[in-house]
Structure formats: structure tokens, C-alpha cells
Homo-oligomer: A and B are copies of this chain.
Amino acid sequence: MADPAELLDDVEETSDDEVRQLRLVTELAGAIEDRDGPQIRLRLADEHPADIADAVEQLTWDQQQVICEVCPDVFNGEVLAELVDETRGDIIEALEPQQIADALEDLDSDDMTHVVEELDEETRAAVLAAVSDEDRQALEASLAFEDETAGRLMQREFVAAPSFWNVGNTIDHMRKAGEDLPDLFFEVFIVDETFKPIGSVPVSALMRSHRDVMLKDLMVASKAIIRPEDDQEDAAYLFEKYHLISAPVVDADGRIAGMLTLDDIVDVIQEENKEDLLALAGVNEAGQADTVWSSVRARAPWLFVNLGTAVLASAVIALFEGAIAQLVALAVLMPIVASMGGNAGTQSLTVAVRALASRDLTASNSMRVVWRELAAGTVNGLIFAAVMGVVAGVWFTDWQLGGVIAISMVITLASAGLSGILIPLGLRKMGADPAVASSVFVTTVTDVVGFFVFLGLAAIVLL
């Protein structure tokens, strides 16, 4: 095996970005070594908050602590918002509540919530006590919604106008409102007299229209009106489907209460994709777990479940100890059947989980997909039955054995296709996340079926 260090030295071929980042980390480490606050501040002055956060994440905890001591103001709101949850947690622990409250002040309400929601009870209470009354009310209102809902994600700053205004009224109003408007917005939401959103006008359309054009003539009807209790994943689906750039969130009476914007939705999409990917591989809690201990904790639970199912599969093998003792070739060949079944099952499962997540798999086409998976599994079974039948026949010069493994391959791959689709659909029906736990169930089915059919058939036919 090659020397790890050698494999790694150019993991990132691409990028100036990487070189620039490496230089920043190195120079920062130097200034930290000297505990030179002004130098650290100077070095970071022109960097983007995202770059600062990336650099801080590359430092050791001791180095991060030095920054907290000699120049805590480096951790302004934007930098805190950019940090991964674990690092942010550590740093916030090391700062005073007042420092955190000051840092939060320049953030929009959604970013403020994002920083505060991950804090433990005690720190959260201290920070809430230190922020302005207005910010506290906004934060408490956001935190009242469940995690991963639209209410948590939305920002309370938005721009709305009645449909009877014209472009001139709207621009004049915005110029007057100035500072009270959100930092960035892409659409003006059009509301009726009860403040219910009925459509939107892209800011670019306002921009190129004459002052006397009526908003109602520029308006596009709202495709998506989101409620604060909606799952963020459902909101993301609507953004993707209708190519939205922002969307209104309404309160219980249907009045506009906030907005979601596409840049926040991108984070949701990435988070959900990551959760699915890691769940399929049996890694818990999607954390940016960076320590040995957190890695073990994230993985041991599913390894434990896997151990249980592996023992179950072994118990099936134990039923046929006698057959194996008579014909050791069975022990040599049986892992092939199980391995092919496990792989085919994982393929079906992954396609199904992906299709469920993207809502390509729906009530109206699911029967068709079940049949397709069964058929595809069977066809692949027939292909590999032929190949493996010949391989086993030649290897052990026993064509009956070749026949047994061929038949087992067809049955195992067909059941792999079927369980790969039915198990995630079943989990979904029971209200569980189809990505979590599916893998284990599917490979249990394929292992048990594979071992049982192969060894059972062999015991009947060969012995």
C-alpha cells in the first residue's frame, strides 16, 4: 500500500482557492502563536466571512481559543453563521453572552435563528437575555417553530405591496423604508387588503418598467404559499419544482409573515442530500464529526444492528452444517450468492430512495416501478446465473453444483430487486425515513434468501 502522505499531497489539484486558503491558515497560525490580536484582525480584514470560517475550522481548538481571548470581535455574526455547528458550538462556549449578542445584531432574523438554535439551553438563555428586545421577540417567535420547518428557516424581513400600487409608488416606498428592508430581496410580494399574498413581482421587472405601470400588470400569481409548520424539505421541493427564488410564508390567518429565499433552500437541499447519503451507508446524525469518538458514536449503532442481522444469516447457514461438512465447495461459493444479492438490493434501494426524495416515485407510478424492479432483478439474475453456473461448473467440475448456484442466483437477485423497492416504500408508509435502516433490512433479506436457497437446494439436489 502506498504511503498515505503521498496519496494526499495533491488531493485538490484544482484550485488557487485551496492555495490561498492554505496560506491564510498558515499566516493565521503564525499570528496566533504570537498571540498578536491586531495582526490576526489585519490578516482577516479583507477576507470573506466564508473564508474566515473555513480557516478557523482548520485550526486546532487551542488555536481557536487564542482568537477568542485576544480578538473575539473576529467572530462577528456573519463568521459565526458560516461556521459548522460543532466549531460554532465550541467558540460560542468560549465567548461572553454579550459578545455573542453584539455579533448577532447585524444578521437577518433567519441567520440569527440559525446561530442560536444550536446552543444549549443555558447559553441560549444567556444570549437571549443580552440581545435587544426586538431581536429577542423575533428569535423567540422563530424558535417556537419545530426544527427543520419553514418557520425556523424563514426571515421576518420582506417587502410587500398592495396590487393597486404602481411601480413609482413602490420604488418611492422602498427608498423611504431604506434600512428597514431586508439586506437582499428578489421579489416584492403583492398582498390583498387583508395582507394575504396573491402574487409577486420580481425586482428586475420593477426595474425595467415605467413608473406608471401597475403592479397587478407585472404580477405573477403565487405558485407556492408556505406555512411555517411545513417541513423544510417540502418547501425545498416547491422551490425546485417551480424554480422559485423566494416565496412568502403565511400565518394561521393566511397573512404574510415572512419569506424563504433560494440561498437558504440550497442549504436545506444539501443537508437533506447529505442525510440521505449517510443514512443509506448507516452513519448517524450527519454531524461534521471530526473526532475519533464522534465517528465511533455515529457508526457503532448501525454496525450493531448489522451484527444482529449477520448473526441471523449465520444461523441460516448453521441449519446446513451437515451439507457443508459433506461438500466444502458450498462454503466457498455461498458468499458469492449473498454478495451479488446484497449489491443488487442496494442498487434497487438507492434508486428507490432517490426517486422518493425527488418525488419521481409517487402513488400513480409505484406499481409500475415495483414490477420494473422485480423484472430487472430477474433479468440480471438470469444473466449472472448463466455466468456463475459456468464458472462454478468449471471450477469444481460439477455441473449439478453449477445448476444449483444458477437457480439460487435468479431467486436471490429477483428478491433483491423486490425488497429493494418494497422495503423503502413500506418504511415510508409507516412514516419512517426510507433512507434510514433500509439498507440493513434489504441486505438481511438478500443474505437470508441467498444462503437459504443455495444451501437448501444443494442439500436436496446434491446430497
Interface bin, chain A: 35 or more
Contact A18 B363 (CB under 8 A): yes
Please measure, in the bound complex, the distance between the C-alpha atom of A339 and the C-alpha atom of B305, giving whole angstroms.
Answer: 12
Please measure, in the bound complex, the distance between the C-alpha atom of A378 and the C-alpha atom of B216, giving whole angstroms.
Answer: 66
**Per-residue B-contact encoding for A352-370, CB less than 8 Å = 1, 0 else:** 0010101111111111001
Which residues of chain A (234-288) have a CB below 8 Å from chain B?
A: 234, 239-243, 245, 262-263, 265-266, 269-270, 273-274, 276-278, 280-283, 288
Q: Which of B185, B314, B343 touches A303 (beta carbons < 8 Å)?
A: B343
**Per-residue B-contact encoding for A5-27, CB less than 8 Å = 1, 0 else:** 10111111111001001100100
Q: Which of B7, B171, B304, B451 touches A207 (beta carbons < 8 Å)?
A: B171
Which residues of chain A (181-216) have a CB below 8 Å from chain B?
A: 181-182, 184-186, 202-210
Contact A50 B242 (CB under 8 A): yes
A262 cross-chain contacts in B, Cβ below 8 A = 245, 262-263, 266
A432 at the interface (CB under 8 A from B): no
Interface segment out of the listed A61-69, A121-129, A130-138, A291-299: A291-299
Contact A11 B270 (CB under 8 A): no
A70 at the interface (CB under 8 A from B): no
Instruction: Given A307-B336, A332-B321, A354-B277, verify A370-B8 contact (CB < 8 Å).
Output: yes
Interface segment out of the listed A92-100, A139-147, A380-388: A380-388
Residues on A facing B (Cβ under 8 Å)? 1-2, 4-5, 7-15, 18, 21-22, 25, 48, 50, 54, 58, 159, 171, 174-175, 177-178, 181-182, 184-186, 202-210, 223, 234, 239-243, 245, 262-263, 265-266, 269-270, 273-274, 276-278, 280-283, 288, 290-293, 295-296, 299-300, 302-304, 306-307, 310-311, 313-314, 317-318, 321, 324-325, 328-336, 338-340, 343-344, 346-347, 349-351, 354, 356, 358-367, 370, 372-373, 375-376, 379-380, 383-384, 387-388, 391, 422, 425-426, 428-429, 431, 443, 447, 451
Contact A363 B291 (CB under 8 A): no
Contact B9 A340 (CB under 8 A): no
Please measure, in the bound complex, the distance between the C-alpha atom of A375 and the C-alpha atom of B293, giving whole angstroms.
Answer: 9
9 A-B pairs with C-beta separation under 8 A: A5-B367, A8-B366, A18-B362, A22-B363, A274-B358, A278-B351, A278-B354, A283-B351, A296-B376
